[in-house]
Structure 1
């Protein structure tokens, strides 16, 4: 086999790896949905409409629009001229979805602070600046993408050029926002709640720390891939990170609602000796 043919085969294998990762991410999305749908129906659907509930549904169901577009992006049906248009739609959905997930965690932090408006203003402002920065960098990237024909007839789009460092920086911006939220969460937890035995607070902290660790590891891995990996692999984690932002943010709300609902049920049973059930209120 010639050197040129070996290079083509390696390039095709990398593109195929991205397809496998997209398929695996789609499977994770549907599997998590099947696991948590019953909780959603019982805890989210009956609650009053609020900003939290709207953000939940956006974070929960937008991936079912974004991910199919991601899959179509990798099919033989896509012509080279349409690749940039599709990737613009995908990137827009990813940025919007991640922004919604981050908004949920801003509200979580606001709730932990005792609903202090100063906290909401500070982190709301930081969140807005991060969103503007990420959107600006993604906009520049999308205007400078370069596509080439896929090697060896591999179906789908082959993004081979562009300022990938800007995409990496947008993930670093998300990480900075999450670092600020997590730092404040740990500080207020130590200062205010270290002697409290509330299971709701324990859940908020557990989910917050787990989310932060995942975002940190995922962002670092994605930045490394975007900066140093071959062009064919630079979209490897796109769908996976989009799906996981949705799963982690919605599970955080479901977990809090579930524990709060159980706490209310136990309180009513102890007080009245009956099995009256209440839907938990908005976080």
Structure 2
């Protein structure tokens, strides 16, 4: 491969990752006011902890990845050693990010199915298999490189190394597992929503189906694009959508959680109704106060572990 071809691939890598970083930080500031109004001051529980872990774990955890691609200094043995560490960090960070997002999707679907343990066991088994494949791809990758592919460029900007042809199958399998997991979550959400289509009040289920469909479409396209780069791209552009896929999955799951606390869900269910139940046993419930003028409004939404199951609540106190 000529030096010009290598430089073109490296530049493509830089530009694509720059787009990913821009989307992450731009969306954070774009939705910060939603986070403040819908999460800050609410009771501390498992969904809140996962929301903050995903949002701020991705935000601050991406900083070393930015450093990996745009660290500007002379190429020295010390820099190359740090670059190797950053490369390993990026791989493990991607796995951890997907695990956190997977847990949030499992809890969301578990609540949608009225805390059905068989559904939970099924989802956990699929997730465990996907995590196993991902860890296998990360742990077995470095030792599988060949001498001709295991090349680290002496670059002034960032750290770029090739992905060997022997690694592509492992990494493509890992991202293929994510496609399988996303398909499972989407099918379960779609089935549950359609099975409740005759109910008189479906606002929350409509939001769940809408957001689930958007999440599924975006993530499947991102993951399939990532898989295709492993099969068709050059050694320095294989897997360049990895950061993009992680960023988009984090953004999408954050918006799913934020949309569940949209006050419009309460007003759509009936401004003066005391309680509107979307499912037969009250698993999704909207509580509305009397609406007396002048009273303070507070939003407190969460997943509560009760004797009757997990409740996704949107409470509007007036």
Q: TM-score, normalised by structure 2?
A: 0.79
Task: State whether structure 2 residue 30 is matched by structure 1 residue 38.
Answer: no
Note if contact 2:72-2:158 (Cα within 8 Å) is conserved in structure 1.
Answer: yes
- 2:185 match: 181
Q: Distance in 1 between matches of 2:183 and 2:228?
A: 19
RCO higher in 1 or 2 (8 Å CA, sep ≥ 6)? 1
**Pairs aligned (count):** 278
Give the Å deviation of 1:254. Answer: 0.1
- 1:49 match: 44
User: As a proportion of its length, which structure holds more helix?
Assistant: 1
Task: State whether structure 2 residue 292 is matched by structure 1 residue 273.
Answer: yes
Partner-residue secondary structure (3-state), 1:216? helix
User: As a proportion of its length, which structure holds more strand?
Assistant: 2
Give the Å deviation of 1:266. Answer: 3.4
Q: Distance in 2 between matches of 1:35 and 1:152?
A: 34
Query: Over residues 150-182 of structure 1, what are the superposed CA-to-partner deviations in whole Å (9 max), with x where a residue is unaligned?
Result: 278664222242512211111111111111121
Q: Distance in 1 between matches of 2:7 and 2:19?
A: 19
Unaligned runs of 5+ in 1: none
| Root mean square deviation of aligned Cα | 2.4
- 1:199 match: 203
- 1:150 match: 153
Partner-residue secondary structure (3-state), 2:299? coil
Q: Distance in 2 between matches of 1:238 and 1:98?
A: 11
Q: Distance in 2 between matches of 1:172 and 1:23?
A: 24
Q: Distance in 1 between matches of 2:38 and 2:180?
A: 32
Give the Å deviation of 1:276. Answer: 4.2
1:172 to 172, 176, 180: 176
Note if contact 1:265-1:276 (Cα within 8 Å) is conserved in structure 2.
Answer: no
CA change 1:200–1:17 in 2 (3 A) is same
Give the Å deviation of 1:139. Answer: 1.5
1:24 to 19, 27, 40: 19
Unaligned runs of 5+ in 2: 275-287, 303-311, 313-318
Q: Distance in 2 between matches of 1:276 and 1:152?
A: 58
